Chain A
Amino acid sequence: MNDEPLWSIFLNASLVNNFVLAYFLGICPFLGVSGKISTASRMGAAVTFVMLVSSACAYGIHAFLVMIDAPYLQLISFIVVIASTVQLVEMFIKKVSPALFRALGIFLPLITTNCAILGLALFQTNKGYDLVQSLTYAVGAGLGFTLALVLMAGVREKLDLADVPDVVRGTAVTLMVAGILSVGFMGFAGLGG
């Protein structure tokens, strides 16, 4: 059992060890959907929601697998739960906002293969968080992901107007910007212990 206070878990997940900029989880959507602030923030919301649901499920599954003594099934059951949650969110978004559904495009089903979500489930299990701690961790990680995505989108919106040399245009310049953002986030190190 882990008795880390909740505020510390939250700060850790969202700022100090930001999932995108420090752990490199969820880089694909980070590079793929960070073109516009509006899309980025909604993608962040979708990911946060999936994280919350799958975190709660992962907690339950882990408890169950420990009970029946089958830890080797952990990975397989986690991924199945995540895939079904994503399917659910996809149907929900398609019904509620078809415009957003089109804007997110292929990246919506790809939340399944978003390492941030599986990573969250694995980390919370490794760290031995209880249910409340896991949920706090999920919210923190989701907000951290959204924050990174929105910051990146803001920079890229400006970058579109800038006169960048032809060779660097595209992924190369995006990665450089991400590196600089990551340096900025290193400033949070030590915060919250």
Chain B
Amino acid sequence: MSSEVMTSPTDEFLKGLWRENPVFVQVLGMCPVLAVTNSAINALAMGLASTFVLVMANAAVSTLRNFIPKQVRIASYILIIATFVTIVEYVIQAMSLELHKALGAFISLIVVNCLILGRAEAFASKNTVPRAVLDGLGMGLGFTLALFCLGSVREILGSGALFGFSIFPEGYQPWVIMILPSGGFFTLGAWLLIFNAFAKRRAARLARQEPAL
């Protein structure tokens, strides 16, 4: 990825949001995506916590990239990530006990989010610090965006509310299944379907343009 031509800093940041969106396009870090998106606020908190870890881990890995021996790099990355996750966990606990309870073990499980290790290995270990930070920020915000997409759909359909404010008229019968585990699979499946359909259409359009050029 990084061996290609140098891309502009804005592009480094934007690619994570859409073109290489970690959830919808790369299908990475699925566990938190499905587990904590039963409400929009949980999804946002989880996304921001992951973003913080992603940015800090990218920065640290990129700083140390010339010192870490190749053979033990994965173990070192995991240790770096685990350190930042521990920090995040204690910070969330100090800020909002309620949120800490709602997210439960999934805060600690950010350690094993393949997205973070993936970015450390694929990007941060080969690029300078500012670029790694931008990449982490973009990927993290893309991840947050995807989590929010899922969380809001599930909360609106599953409990007829968004951020706890009810938005449907009195008679609305909530689809309880959407906040249950199976709802997570269905919602993510539907989002991927939409993304696939768009990608297919763009590919078809490009194929049509190709002969004309």
CB distance from A87 to the nearest CB of B (A): 9
Inter-subunit contact A112/B78 (CB<8 Å): yes
Inter-subunit contact B27/A123 (CB<8 Å): no
**A122/B105 contact (C-beta < 8 A), A26-B31, A168-B196, A172-B196 known:** yes
Interface stretch (choices A36-44, A89-97, A136-144, A178-186): A178-186
CB distance from A137 to the nearest CB of B (A): 14
CB distance from A181 to the nearest CB of B (A): 8
Q: Is B167 an interface residue (CB 8 A)?
A: no
Interface stretch (choices B41-49, B111-119, B132-140, B158-166): B111-119
Inter-subunit contact B86/A75 (CB<8 Å): yes
B142: chain A residues at CB < 8 Å are none
Interface residues on A, range: 35 or more
Q: Is A79 an interface residue (CB 8 A)?
A: yes
**A182/B181 contact (C-beta < 8 A), A110-B114, A126-B105, A167-B197 known:** yes
Q: How far does the alpha carbon of A26 sit from the alpha carbon of B35 in the complex, in Å? A: 11
Inter-subunit contact B189/A28 (CB<8 Å): no
Q: Which of B65-92 contact A (CB under 8 A)?
A: 74-75, 78-79, 82-83, 85-86, 89-90
Inter-subunit contact B108/A179 (CB<8 Å): no
A72: chain B residues at CB < 8 Å are 86, 90
A48-62 CB contact bits vs B (8 Å, 1 = yes)?
A: 000000000000000
A96-117 CB contact bits vs B (8 Å, 1 = yes)?
A: 0000000000000110111100
**A27/B30 contact (C-beta < 8 A), A75-B86, A126-B105, A173-B189 known:** yes
Inter-subunit contact B31/A79 (CB<8 Å): no
Q: How far does the alpha carbon of A22 sit from the alpha carbon of B35 in the complex, in Å? A: 9
CB distance from B109 to the nearest CB of A (A): 5
Inter-subunit contact B189/A176 (CB<8 Å): yes
Measured CB to CB, the nearest residue on chain B to A169 is B196
Inter-subunit contact A24/B30 (CB<8 Å): yes
Q: Is B184 an interface residue (CB 8 A)?
A: yes
Measured CB to CB, the nearest residue on chain B to A21 is B181
In the complex, which of the residues B28, B113, B117, B185 contacts A175, with contact meaning CB atoms closer than 8 Å? B185
Chain A, interface SS category: helix
CB distance from A5 to the nearest CB of B (A): 23
B200: chain A residues at CB < 8 Å are 166-167
Inter-subunit contact A24/B193 (CB<8 Å): no
Inter-subunit contact A167/B193 (CB<8 Å): yes
**A172/B177 contact (C-beta < 8 A), A118-B111, A118-B112 known:** no
In the complex, which of the residues A31, A76, A83, A186 contacts B30, with contact meaning CB atoms closer than 8 Å? A31
Measured CB to CB, the nearest residue on chain A to B183 is A179
Inter-subunit contact B105/A179 (CB<8 Å): no
Measured CB to CB, the nearest residue on chain B to A180 is B182
In the complex, which of the residues B79, B112, B181, B192 contacts A24, with contact meaning CB atoms closer than 8 Å? B181
What would 6 more interface pairs be, CB under 8 Å, given A79-B82, A167-B197, A176-B189?
A: A21-B182, A76-B86, A112-B78, A168-B196, A172-B196, A175-B188
Q: List 14 A-B contacts (CB under 8 A).
A: A24-B35, A24-B181, A31-B30, A110-B114, A115-B109, A115-B112, A122-B108, A167-B200, A176-B185, A178-B185, A179-B189, A182-B180, A182-B182, A183-B177
